[in-house]
């Protein structure tokens, strides 16, 4: 599975300001059937979810189940 290069090149983007994984949330990581999302510690010591592997089924549970709407799945043109 290819490693994601940067957060802006992958289809699933997490708004770090909205992500509450510092409070223990790992919902998006837990619900992804492909297991491509991870939690990472950022430079300022806070944590956030992000897409580690650039694979996606566009099945949407990560976005649908995030309690703060921090996850955005950018559907490809052909899937819209």
* Residues 6+ positions from 51 with CB-CB distance below 8 Å: 4, 7, 10, 11, 12, 13, 14, 36, 37
Any contact of residue 66 with ligand SF4 (CB under 6 A)? yes
CB 72, min distance to ligand SF4, A: 10
Any contact of residue 64 with ligand SF4 (CB under 6 A)? no
72 strand-pairing partners: 13
How many residues belong to the site for ligand SF4 (CB under 6 A)?
29
As given in the structure block, the two tokens for residue 14 are 């997490």
Any contact of residue 40 with ligand SF4 (CB under 6 A)? no
CB 11, min distance to ligand SF4, A: 7
Any contact of residue 14 with ligand SF4 (CB under 6 A)? yes
């Amino acid at each position: 599975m290819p490693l994601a290069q940067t957060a802006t090149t992958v289809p699933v983007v997490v708004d770090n300001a909205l992500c509450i994984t510092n409070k223990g949330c790992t919902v998006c990581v837990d619900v992804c059937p492909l297991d491509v999302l991870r939690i990472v510690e950022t430079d300022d010591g806070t944590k956030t979810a992000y897409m580690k592997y650039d694979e996606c089924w566009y099945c949407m549970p990560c976005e649908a189940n995030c309690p703060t709407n921090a996850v955005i799945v950018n559907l490809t043109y052909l899937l819209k």
